[in-house]
Structure formats: structure tokens, C-alpha cells
Amino acid sequence: MTELKTTMDIFKLLDKSNCQKCGEKTCLAFAAAVFQNRKNLSECPRLNGETISKVTFQTENRNVVDRNREEIFNKLKKEIQEADLEERARITGARYKNGKLTLKILGKDFSVDDQGDIFTQIHVNLWVAIPFFQYILRGRGVEPAGEWISFRELSEGMQRYNFFQKQCEEPLKRVADVYPDLFDDMIHVLGGKAVKEQFRSDISVVLHPLPKLPIMVCYWKPEQELESSIGIYFDRTANRNLDTGSIFSLSSGLAQMFKKFAGRHGHTNGF
């Protein structure tokens, strides 16, 4: 096993062609993104699986990010153990039965008991589990107003917008450009709903990653000289039910999920 400790260690593995198939402008930018835990090595299609399987990460950054996320999760789990789940279910519009609070995430049941243990058929990772706990513990159960705003308009959204674009909108746009079934999957697999096109987009679909937290994805197809583009929008009430960090986490988890969907169907060129 080779231990990767710095951006340059990662850069040395790459073929340095700057082909941009990973979505970064250069191999060095990709190496930095892997080091910062924004990209996975497997997102460079020019690296073979054997090379990837022979390296491990010992970067300070990666460990700190993972450790922070685990610490947040464990802290929230303790809060769940002390919370009145029946009362929280009433406030957030979840169901409560036999000691478990249950709500729908992307149309599928997601439950937690009074020990903070999660029960669901969806693959659970911290990108979803942390927002789920935050929503239960701090959500105010405010009904969506039906008015859409961009990430920039959320509380402190402006400061995080560049990162949101890189982690959420750009990867999702690359999937939409090459994977024709993306919006059908959103509707038929994840319980989304096609809505009347918004902001003059060609396609608009609304998803519910949490019951009172709709997300609208709008796609503009490429046209003559213009590239395609994608926008992710939130209800004006979003921050009353979930903090901006958790909204970012959920959106990023969604983008990752769609990359996997597309990969499974062999549409991996370009990302």
C-alpha cells in the first residue's frame, strides 16, 4: 500500500494530460480536490482500479473532515436519545409508532428510535443522516410557501455558494448532459414530480429529500453557442426547517447518488 500524504503524492499518480474528464481544469486541480475530500480518485477515468486499490489516504485534511462529521453525528445521536420523539414527530409532520419516528426521504421510509438507531432500506451515510437528525431536532415544521430561491439566498448561502456550485450543481449538470434518464429517475425512482418549467428552463423537477424541504432542479438544454446549465432551488421557508450546512450536505449527497445511477448505466464519460 502507498500512503498519500500530500496533493503532490496524488498528482504523481495522474497521467498529467489535463483532459478535464474529471470535471477539473487540470490534473493538479483534481489532485487538490481529492486532497480536500471534494473528489474521489475513481473520478479520474484514466486511473485504473489497480492503482486506486493500492493507495491509502493519511492526509490530515481527510481525517479531520471525517472525524468532524462523525463527532457531529454522535453529538446529534445523543440529543435524539434525550428528545421527546413523539413531540418532534408532531412538530415536523413525521409519524410516531412503537417508539419510532418515521418520515419519508425521497419517497422511502426513514426511521429512528429513542436510542438514535436508524432503520431504512436506503443506503445510510453521514451526508444524509446528519441532515435527518437536524431536521427532527430543530425543524419547525413550517409548510413550504411555494416560492423558490437560490442557494445564495439562504442564510450564509452567499459565502458558501462557490463550494455549492462545485460540489452540487456542476456534478449534476455533467450527469444531466450525458445521462438521458436522469429526470425520469428523479420522478420514478425517487418520487419526484415534474412541474411547470420554472425560470424558462427546459425541465423542472421537484424532489423531497425531507418532507417539508422540497428541492427543485431546473435544466436548460444546450442551445447553439450556449452550454447547458442546471440550477438547484429551495423553498423560501427552507432555513426554518433545516440549517444551510445540512441543506448543502443533502444536495451534495443527491449529486453523488445521481453520479452512481449514471455510472451503473455506463454513462460515465465526462465526469
Q: Report if residue 12 touches ligand SF4, rule: CB under 6 A.
A: no
Site string for ligand SF4, 14-43 (x = CB under 6 A): xx-xxxxxx-x--x--x-------------
Q: Report if residue 4 touches ligand SF4, rule: CB under 6 A.
A: no
* Type of residue at 256: Q
Question: Which DSSP string corresponds to 25-54?
Answer: SSHHHHHHHHHTTSS-GGG-TTS-HHHHHT
- Do residues 231 and 169 lie in contact, with contact meaning Cβ atoms separated by under 8 Å? yes
- State in angstroms the smallest separation of the CB of 41 from ligand SF4: 9
- State in angstroms the smallest separation of the CB of 23 from ligand SF4: 8
- Rounded to the nearest 10 degrees, what angle do helices 244-264 and 170-178 cross at? 20
Which range of residues in 10-18, 101-109, 129-137, 143-151 is near ligand SF4 by CB under 6 A?
A: 10-18
- If the CB atoms of residues 41 and 89 are measured against ligand SF4, the closer one turns out to be 41
- If the CB atoms of residues 28 and 137 are measured against ligand SF4, the closer one turns out to be 28
- Do residues 60 and 95 lie in contact, with contact meaning Cβ atoms separated by under 8 Å? no
The DSSP H or E segment spanning 128 is helix 126-138
- If the CB atoms of residues 21 and 69 are measured against ligand SF4, the closer one turns out to be 21
Q: How many residues bind ligand SF4 (CB under 6 A)?
A: 14
149: β partners: 234
- If the CB atoms of residues 191 and 270 are measured against ligand SF4, the closer one turns out to be 270
- State in angstroms the smallest separation of the CB of 155 from ligand SF4: 34
- If the CB atoms of residues 46 and 75 are measured against ligand SF4, the closer one turns out to be 46
Q: Report if residue 227 touches ligand SF4, rule: CB under 6 A.
A: no
- Do residues 118 and 89 lie in contact, with contact meaning Cβ atoms separated by under 8 Å? no
- State in angstroms the smallest separation of the CB of 67 from ligand SF4: 27
- State in angstroms the smallest separation of the CB of 47 from ligand SF4: 7
- If the CB atoms of residues 93 and 270 are measured against ligand SF4, the closer one turns out to be 270
- State in angstroms the smallest separation of the CB of 21 from ligand SF4: 4
Strands 55-57 and 2-4 come out as: parallel
Torsion of CA 100, 239, 187, 128, to 10 degrees: -50
How far is Cα 173 from Cα 232, in angstroms, rounded to an integer?
Answer: 10
Q: How deeply is 126 buried, as exposed, middle or buried, from its count of CB atoms within 10 A (0-12, 13-18, 19+)?
A: middle
Q: Which positions touch ligand SF4 (CB under 6 A)?
A: 14-15, 17-22, 24, 27, 30, 44-46
